[in-house]
Amino acid sequence: MEVDPESVERGLAGLVLTIIELLRQLMERQALRRVEQGGLSDEQIEELGLTLMALEERMEELREHFGLEPEDLNIDLGPLGPLLPRD
């Protein structure tokens, strides 16, 4: 069995980035709920927004580094549909 190291690295990176993207989106939704509920100060909202933007930028850099598109991170779960919501 021949295995292409680049293909394996790209596949593993895609899987790890998929998990990170799922967690990032969950954190973003939770942050929006907290903002809507009024449970955060203006400084906390600003810090949260900057942190989420930085995380999204870093994810984009990592996708580019491994040659992945955003849709490459959306695993098809068959009858359940895609793992990540489509924007």
More confident residue, 56 or 6: 56
Q: Is residue 42 part of a domain?
A: yes
Residue 34 is part of which domain span?
7-67
Closest CA to 22 of 72, 83, 86: 83
Residue 50 within a domain: yes
Residues of the chain above pLDDT 70, percent: 95
Give the pLDDT of residue 87. 60
Write down the pLDDT at residue 1.
60
Entry field: residues in the chain:
87
Encode pLDDT of 63-86 as tens digits.
999 889 888 888 887 887 777 776
> Using CA atoms, how far apart are residues 28 and 35, in angstroms rounded to an integer?
11
Whether the per-residue pLDDT at 47 is higher than 70: the answer is yes
Looking at the domain assignment, is residue 85 inside a domain?
A: no
| Report field, pTM of the whole predicted structure over 0.95 | no
Residue 80 resides in a domain: no
60 in a domain, yes or no?
yes
81 within domain boundaries: no
Report, in this order, helix, strand and coil percent for the chain, each rounded to 5: 70, 0, 25
